[in-house]
C-alpha cells in the first residue's frame, strides 16, 4: 500500500490571510469529485472536498436494510475501463472488484426456454467472438452473419467525426441489415446496460464508442468486473481512507450555496456554515446543480447544459428463502427482466436464502410504479426464468429508484457536454455528463475527474503525466 505524505496545513489561506493558489476546493463527493481531489492532492495542492450527502460515492453507494448491506443498484465495469481500474488501484480496492478471466455472459431466452452464451476466446479481434457468435442460439444463421458485417462497418467509424453524434444508432443498425430480433438479442443486450437507452434512442457516436472500445479493440476489453463487497466499502470507506492519507479535508453533509470571484482572481466557496477561499475550484456535481452554481459567462452557452436530459434506472431486490440461481449473473430475452445478479455474499445475507438484484435500465415506464405492482409483474417472470424459484418463499421484495441515474445519450447530446475547462480561470467541471467521450458510467465519472485535475494542474504550472493508460 502506497502512502501519501502531505503537509498538515490544508487551509485555503496563507500566513498573510490571502487565498493561496495551491488551495483547491472540490464540490461533490461522487467518483468524479473523489478522483479530482486525489489527483490534485497527489500533486501537492491543499484540497477540501465538500459533499452534501452523509457519504461519498455519488450514485454508486450502499445502505443498510436490517442486517443486510444493500447497493442502490448493480454496477459493473469492463476491462477497457482503464480510468475506473486506476481508481480501484488508487483506493486499494481492485481485489474487491475482480474481473472475469474471460468474457462469459449467460443469455436466457424466456420464450424459448433456451440458454445461450456470449463468450470470447484468446484469438485476436474480431475472431475472439467468432466462435461464440457462430453458436449463439438466439439468432438465425443469416442474422449471425449480418452481425459480423455490421461489426466491421462499426469498426471503421471514426469516433472523432462529430457527425456521428447527430445520427441515430437504431437507424444505422437498420441500414446495415440488422433485424429487430438481432437488435434485441445482441445490440440492445449490451447497449441498454451501458448506454441506458435503446438503440433507437441513442447517439451513434456514443454507441460506436461502446462497441468499438468494448468489443472491437482487444480480446479482453469486454471482460466484466463487479464488486464482491458493498459499493460503499469501495466508494465511501476505502475512498475516505485514500483521501485522508492524501491529506484531503473531507466535509460531508455540507451543501455549497454559492461560489464567487474574490481578490487576485481567487474563489470563495460559501457553504451553509463556512467560507472557503481557494485558487482552484472543481464542480463535480450533476448538470442542474452545476448550472445553478456557475457564475454567469462561465460557458459559451451556459443554458445548453440544461438540455442534457436524464434517464432512470430501477433496481428490484428479492430475498428468497433458498438458492434459486446457480450462476453469478445472467441476462434475459423475451422478458421484462434485464440483468440479474446474485448479491447474497456481498450483502452479508447468511443462512440458506439467496438475494437477487434485478437491474432495469431504460425504466421510464416503471420508475414510479408502486412496489406492489412491480412485485406482481416481476416475481412471476423470475419464476419463468428460474424454475428453482417456483414455490420458493420470498422473504423480502423492495425497490430502489434512481430517477436521474444517467444522462440521456440521445443524438446531439455530444455538443451539449462541456469540457473540463470553463471560461473563468480557476474553475473546472467534472462529472460523467461532461465531455469524456463515454456514456454515463463509472468510467466516465473517473475520467472527468482526471480531466479536471489535469486541466487545473496545467494552469498552475504543475502538469502531470496521464493518470491512467488509455485502452488499446
Mean pLDDT of 371-392: 97
Largest CA distance in the chain: 76
Mean pLDDT lowest for which of 71-80, 223-232, 434-443, 461-470? 461-470
**Alpha helix (H) residue ranges in 275-415:** 287-293, 344-347, 371-385
The Cα–Cα gap between 60 and 248 comes to: 21
Q: How far apart are CA 442 and CA 463, in angstroms?
A: 24
pLDDT value at position 176?
A: 98
Give the C-alpha distances (Å, rounded to integers) separating 423 from 126, 280, 415, 420: 43, 13, 17, 10
Residue 380 has pLDDT above 80, yes or no: yes
Average pLDDT, integer, range 350-364: 96
Backbone angles phi, psi at 399, to 5 degrees: -130, 140
If you write DSSP's letter for every residue of 121-145 in order, what string do you get? -SSPTTGGGHHHHHT-TTS-HHHHH
How far is the C-alpha of 244 from the C-alpha of 365, rounded, in Å? 42
Q: What are the distances in angstroms from CA 332 to CA 112, 121, 328?
A: 11, 23, 14
Is residue 5 predicted with pLDDT exceeding 70?
A: no
At residue 133's C-alpha, the angle toward residues 130 and 138, to 5°, is 175
pLDDT for 301 beyond 70: yes
Asked if residue 8 has pLDDT above 50, the reply is no
CA distance 44 to 29: 20
Question: What is the average per-residue pLDDT within 207-218?
Answer: 96
Cis peptide before 126 (omega within 30 of 0): yes
Whether 11 shows a pLDDT value over 90: the answer reads: no
- Calculate mean pLDDT across residues 46-63: 97
Would you say residue 131 has pLDDT above 60?
A: yes
pLDDT of residue 470: 57
- What is the per-residue burial (b if ≥16 Cβ within 10 Å, else e) of 58-76? bbbbbeeeeebbbbbbbbb
pLDDT of residue 263: 85
Q: Give the pLDDT band (50/70/90) at residue 265.
A: confident
CA distances from residue 413 to 150, 213, 432, 437 in whole angstroms, order as listed: 24, 20, 13, 11
- pLDDT for residue 21: 64
Across 82-98, average pLDDT: 98
Section 116-142 average pLDDT: 95
Q: Is the pLDDT of residue 261 over 60?
A: yes
Q: Are 71 and 357 within 8 A, CB to CB?
A: yes
**By C-alpha distance, which of 199, 271, 259, 277 is closest to 424?**
259
Q: Which three cell numbers stand for residue 397?
A: 421484495
Cell 443524438 identifies what position?
A: 411
Is the Cα dihedral 277, 280, 285, 290 positive or negative?
A: positive
Q: Terminal CA-to-CA distance of the chain, rounded, Å? A: 27
The set of cell numbers assigned to 108 is 436466457
How high is the pLDDT of residue 32? 98
Amino acid at each position: 500500500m502506497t502512502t501519501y505524505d502531505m503537509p498538515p496545513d490544508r487551509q485555503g489561506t496563507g500566513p498573510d490571510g490571502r487565498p493561496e493558489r495551491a488551495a483547491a476546493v472540490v464540490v461533490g463527493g461522487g467518483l468524479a469529485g473523489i478522483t479530482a481531489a486525489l489527483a490534485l492532492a497527489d500533486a501537492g495542492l491543499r484540497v477540501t472536498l465538500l459533499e452534501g450527502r452523509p457519504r461519498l460515492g455519488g450514485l454508486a453507494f450502499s445502505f443498510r436494510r436490517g442486517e443486510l448491506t444493500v447497493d442502490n443498484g448493480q454496477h459493473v465495469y469492463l476491462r477497457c475501463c482503464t480510468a475506473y481500474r486506476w481508481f480501484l488501484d488508487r483506493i486499494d480496492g481492485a481485489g474487491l472488484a475482480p474481473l472475469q478471466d474471460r468474457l462469459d455472459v449467460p443469455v436466457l431466452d424466456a420464450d424459448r426456454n433456451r440458454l445461450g452464451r456470449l463468450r470470447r476466446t484468446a484469438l485476436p479481434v474480431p475472431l475472439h467472438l467468432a466462435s461464440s457468435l457462430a453458436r449463439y442460439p438466439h439468432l438465425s444463421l443469416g442474422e449471425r452473419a449480418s452481425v459480423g458485417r455490421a461489426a466491421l462497418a462499426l469498426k471503421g467509424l471514426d469516433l472523432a467525426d462529430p457527425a456521428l453524434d447527430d445520427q441515430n444508432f437504431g437507424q444505422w443498425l437498420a441500414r446495415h441489415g440488422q433485424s429487430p430480433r438481432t437488435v434485441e438479442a445482441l445490440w440492445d443486450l449490451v447497449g441498454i446496460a451501458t448506454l441506458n437507452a435503446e438503440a433507437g434512442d441513442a447517439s451513434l457516436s456514443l454507441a460506436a464508442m461502446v462497441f468499438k472500445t468494448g468489443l472491437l479493440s482487444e480480446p479482453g476489453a469486454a471482460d466484466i468486473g463487479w464488486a464482491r463487497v458493498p459499493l460503499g466499502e469501495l466508494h465511501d470507506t476505502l475512498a475516505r481512507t485514500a483521501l485522508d492519507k492524501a491529506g484531503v479535508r473531507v466535509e460531508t453533509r455540507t451543501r455549497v450555496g454559492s461560489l464567487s470571484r474574490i481578490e487576485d482572481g481567487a474563489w470563495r466557496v460559501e457553504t451553509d456554515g463556512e467560507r472557503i477561499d481557494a485558487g482552484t475550484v472543481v464542480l463535480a456535481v450533476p448538470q442542474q446543480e452545476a448550472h445553478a452554481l456557475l457564475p454567469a459567462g462561465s460557458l459559451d452557452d451556459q443554458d445548453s447544459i440544461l438540455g442534457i436530459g436524464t434517464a432512470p434506472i430501477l433496481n428490484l431486490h428479492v430475498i428468497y428463502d433458498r438458492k434459486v440461481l446457480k450462476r453469478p449473473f445472467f441476462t434475459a430475452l423475451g422478458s421484462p427482466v434485464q440483468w440479474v445478479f446474485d448479491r447474497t455474499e456481498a450483502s452479508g445475507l447468511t443462512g440458506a436464502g439467496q438475494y437477487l438484484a434485478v437491474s432495469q435500465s431504460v425504466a421510464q415506464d416503471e420508475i414510479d410504479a408502486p412496489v406492489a405492482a412491480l412485485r406482481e409483474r416481476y416475481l412471476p417472470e423470475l419464476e419463468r426464468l428460474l424454475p428453482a424459484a417456483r414455490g420458493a418463499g420470498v422473504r423480502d421484495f423492495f425497490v430502489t429508484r434512481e430517477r436521474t441515474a444517467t444522462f440521456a445519450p440521445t443524438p446531439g447530446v455530444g455538443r451539449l457536454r462541456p469540457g473540463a475547462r470553463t471560461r473563468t480561470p480557476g474553475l473546472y467541471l467534472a462529472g460523467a455528463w461532461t465531455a469524456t467521450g463515454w456514456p454515463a458510467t463509472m468510467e466516465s465519472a473517473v475520467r472527468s475527474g482526471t480531466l479536471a485535475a489535469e486541466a487545473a494542474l496545467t494552469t498552475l504550472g504543475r502538469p502531470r503525466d496521464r493518470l491512467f493508460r488509455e485502452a488499446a
